[in-house]
Chain A
Amino acid sequence: MRKALFIIGLAGLLAVGAESARAQDYVLTIKDHRFTPTELKVPANKRVQVTVVNDDATPEEFESHEMKVEKVIPGKSKATVRIGPLKPGRYPFFGEFHEATAKGTVIAE
């Protein structure tokens, strides 16, 4: 049972990996506690992978209640966030550790 679950999980991960290799890569960069770009367009009704690059020396937590994501990104590193499928619309996100400046929106269309 456990082994089966593990294999299913592994297959799932591989499938996700294979899918992302083909899909367009979306990138958000954090610099001076700000996101670039502040508006990121992604296709609606599709699962997409966003790479969040943290160029600051300090860690940040990428968070969005609307997209149900929360992920800590250590300083000077990057992380992968999977979102969607999203209905067409605007989905705000923010950096929890620097909420005043680190803000942006994902636009699904």
Chain B
Amino acid sequence: MLGALLIVFREVLEAGLIVGIVMAATRGVPGRGRWVTIGIAGGVLGAAIVAVFAGVISDAFEGSGQELFNAGVLGLAVVMLMWHNAWMARHGREIADEMRRVGTAVSEGTKPLTALAVVIGLAVLREGSEVVLFLYGIMAQGTSGSALLAGGILGIAAGAAFTALTYFGLLAVPNRHIFSVTSWLIALLAAGMAAQSVQFLNSAGLVLSLDQTVWDTSWLLSEGSIVGRLLHILIGYTERPTEMQLIVYVAILVAMYVLMRIARPAPRTPMPAAAE
């Protein structure tokens, strides 16, 4: 039971960290609760579908289907995170101003937080499909499975609790810093995902150039350890990065920075947003 709990917890944790960060990043944005719910629900549904078709996906493209699928999911999440950060760079200031003035978020119509919902959905889908497969395996084993199943459910609960912890932990960051803190977290998250996506493309046989390992820090911090895993999700820590992974990682960080610079509204004289 403990084994099942740990495995499920690990997967839920990975998705939960992402959900917690994205939720903290959109604090005060009206209507976000609905989008978060849509994202999670869509992700769970998607995870079930992916789990059912795991065999078909795996066999597609000469056996590279799963790698291409993972690379695609990660790539799409990176694009969505960039869009999200650009959007927050443009509107974050207004939202913070509103929150300061009125003490709470003002409804100026629902913001289209599709990017947020998609990122959450993809994170839940990717990790969730493994949970579904694993739990399905347990149930398929029959009678002795009930203890394991209980472990799995406890694992989900523990993972959800960790998501809440991440979220409320980030809420402790003062209002005026929250946007820059979460923007940086999201930039690192996206860079790590992109580097991971490139590795899946390599496994699929598509991106084979620059595949030499640049360094090996497995002696210092194993990717399999808890800290290693957390850093892997948060900043994309890899014990043996390839040249291509490093290039992509840095490129995404630079692109994110430039994009947010461009999106940032020009400083204006302190006039309330009446003109808009």
Contact = CB atoms under 8 A, between A and B. Distances in A.
Contacts of A65: 218, 222-224, 239-240
Contact of A16 (B133, B134, B205): B205
A88 interface: no
Which of A58, A66, A74 gathers the greatest number of chain B CB atoms within 10 Å?
A74
A69 interface: yes
Interface stretch (B25-33, B53-61, B90-98, B160-168): B53-61
Chain B contact-residue range equals 35 or more
Contacts of B133: 59, 72, 74
Interface residues of A, number: 30
Contacts, number: 81
Q: Is the interface of B mostly helix, strand, loop or mixed?
A: helix
Contacts of A13: 61-62, 64, 204-206
A7 interface: no
Interface string B193-236: 00000010011111010010000001000111000000000000
Given A13-B64, A58-B140, A68 B240 contact: yes
Nearest to B228: A65
Nearest to A73: B58
B227 to A, nearest CB: 14
Q: Is the interface of A mostly helix, strand, loop or mixed?
A: mixed
Interface string B229-267: 000000000111010000000000000000000000000
A12 B138 contact: no
Given A68-B240, A72-B130, A74-B133, A12 B54 contact: no
A97 B134 contact: yes
Contacts of A77: 55, 58
A37 interface: no
Nearest to A58: B137
Contacts of B222: 65
7 contacts: A57-B141, A58-B137, A71-B66, A72-B66, A74-B133, A79-B66, A82-B64
Interface of B: 3, 7, 54-55, 58, 61-64, 66-67, 129-130, 133-134, 136-138, 140-141, 199, 202-206, 208, 211, 218, 222-224, 238-240, 242
In the A-B complex, list the 5 residue pairs whose CB atoms are closest, starting with the nearest. A58-B137, A80-B63, A16-B205, A65-B223, A59-B133
Given A74-B55, A74-B133, 15 more contacts: A9-B206, A13-B61, A13-B64, A13-B205, A13-B206, A65-B224, A65-B239, A68-B203, A72-B66, A72-B133, A75-B137, A79-B58, A81-B203, A82-B64, A82-B204
